[in-house]
Structure 1
Amino acid sequence: MKRCLRCFQNYEENKTECPWCGFQENQQLKEPQYLSAGTVLQNRYEIGAVVGAGGFGITYAAWDRVLEQRVAIKEYMPGEFSTRTPGETRVSVYGGEKEEQYKNGRDKFYEESQRDYSGDL
């Protein structure tokens, strides 16, 4: 059995399309700076399909190998300040003023990720 990288349901090894959601494991990325489905971060999170992207970042469906559950990974990746070589995980930040803008935005992105929203739910 293998796990779908969009819905994370298990299905037969010999199939290339998930019978639950239709995700095809060899789908091309819409944007070259997206992480490829199947990329593993910190030896824990297996990146799945892109579920959203905007001006400052990308949200991926992912599988947490420790908790054995689906999670969302939000990546700070503003296209006007940074890029990525296809197939790589490392982000390249443009120099000069754009580098400062990238760092300031990254710091705000990180601070927001640390906020407790449990009272807002």
Structure 2
Amino acid sequence: MAGVDNEVLIIENNDEASVWTQKHEEIFIELMEEEVLKGNKNTTTFTKQSWKYIKEELCGRAKRNYSDMQLRNKYNQLKQKHKDFKSLLKETSMGYNAVTGEVNKSAKRFRKKGCKF
């Protein structure tokens, strides 16, 4: 094909909103579970050593660099997702308010896919 540039441009994306693959999310959750079982999670978060271990292992297994901020943001997102799903399980109507006819906003993301983890 004439006029087509076959050069490949590699762009490093260290943007805060970068997409986590499902596999990377699974690895991240497994590593956090390991640290909880080891007793390395104080009241609301992990110890500094645990965060360091999680980051090193995740980056090694995923073959991608994640920043400390990305890990903590993902942790908070997963925590909120778990909280939302847990509260929906307590409701018999899965987030639907019969009086107002409105659907709980946090229920929308679980409607088709559920909560895999």
What TM-score do you get using the length of structure 2 for normalisation?
0.27
Higher strand share: 1
**Which structure is larger by alpha-carbon Rg, 1 or 2?**
2
Asked which structure has the greater RCO (Cα within 8 Å, sep 6+), the reply is 2
Higher helix share: 2
What TM-score do you get using the length of structure 1 for normalisation?
0.27
